[in-house]
Amino acid sequence: MIPTSFDYTRPSTVDEAVSTLRAAGEDAKILAGGQSLIPVLRLRLAAPSTLIDLGGISDLVGIRSDGDSLVIGAMTSHAEVAASDLVRQHAPMVAEAAQSIGDPQVRHMGTFGGSLSHADPAGDLPSVALALDAAMVVAGPEGRREVAAGDFFTDHFTTVLGADEILVEVRVPKLAGWGMRYVKFNRVAQAWAIVGVAAAVRRDNGGIAEARVALTNMGPTPIRARGVEQALAGADADLDALRAACETAAEGASPSSDVTASAEYRGHLAKVLSRRAVAAAAGL
């Protein structure tokens, strides 16, 4: 199928994109890499009046270091994120998650900001952003604001982005001295995560000082496994202690049942994958 007709515009600055978005009204849609949007348009699950293509805004592409943060432009492709030395050095889990998305062709077109704004519950980057306490930099008619990852995702495919706002970059704190790992479970090539776990761990004196654990596809939005995090703080760094701490991984989650897995199985996966991700992040 081909999409329904729409008007198309390719602004060259963020300001121009925001004013175009505002003028076009609620039926307008932002086009980033299109790897989620174009299939949706083709299935005619969406029929926007206008597509505003961010592909002409070079300011939105690139990765830079800014003090204690890594700043990733919204239009940077997954392939660029996965290959970036800066990302591998300061937030290796972001590179791991980007490398796990789709397939090579999708990673060449798909973008970091597009994935986060699309907010698919099975998307890999939202839980990683949540575990790292990343800040979303959002541009709108009133200028720019920062939204914590924990406040950004509100429901299935829904974020706090207003109808006239655009995600322009993401600030990822550099966690010096932390280990981190993204573990994704799926069964066939190029598949979505059935469940994924993003874990970051800081060790001291042989034990675990602090841990952050966030889950992919265990509910309509990514969630932090707070019970696991609390149980890990001060825990011994051995596999039995991690196994015990991860028993609560699915508590408070509301996973769905679908063709790939039952909710119960997802709950089981959350525990197992949390242990694996935390163990890898802790260097065990």
Partner 1 sequence: MTRISVTVDGVQYQDDVEPRTLLVHYLREQLGKVGTVVGCDTSNCGACTVMMTGTSGRHSVKSCTVLAVQADGREVVTIEGLADMNGGADRAGRLHPMQQAFHEQHALQCGFCTPGMIMEAVDLLEANPDPTDEQIREGLEGNLCRCTGYQNIVRAVHAAAAATRGAEPEPAPEDVVPGPQP
> Which residues are at the interface with partner 1 (CB under 8 A)?
1-8, 10, 31, 34-35, 38-39, 41-42, 51, 53, 55, 58, 61, 75-77, 79-80, 102-106, 108-109, 189-190
Choice between 38 and 263, CB closer to partner 1: 38
CB of 225 to partner 1, least distance (A): 29
Local structure of residue 236 (DSSP, 8 states): B
Choice between 83 and 284, CB closer to partner 1: 83
Local structure of residue 37 (DSSP, 8 states): H
Choice between 176 and 188, CB closer to partner 1: 188
Residue 103 to residues 78, 106, 209: CA-CA distances in angstroms?
10, 5, 36
Choice between 39 and 234, CB closer to partner 1: 39
CB of 48 to partner 1, least distance (A): 11
Choice between 100 and 217, CB closer to partner 1: 100
Residue with tokens 């060449």: 108
Choice between 107 and 202, CB closer to partner 1: 107
Taking the C-alpha atoms of residue 60 and residue 18, their distance in angstroms, rounded to an integer, is 13
Alpha helices in 52-148 (DSSP H): 78-83, 85-90, 92-99, 104-109, 112-118, 125-131
CB of 230 to partner 1, least distance (A): 37
Contact 128, 94 (CB under 8 A): yes
Taking the C-alpha atoms of residue 36 and residue 278, their distance in angstroms, rounded to an integer, is 30
CB of 105 to partner 1, least distance (A): 5
Phi and psi, residue 79, nearest 5° = -65, -40
Contact 221, 209 (CB under 8 A): no
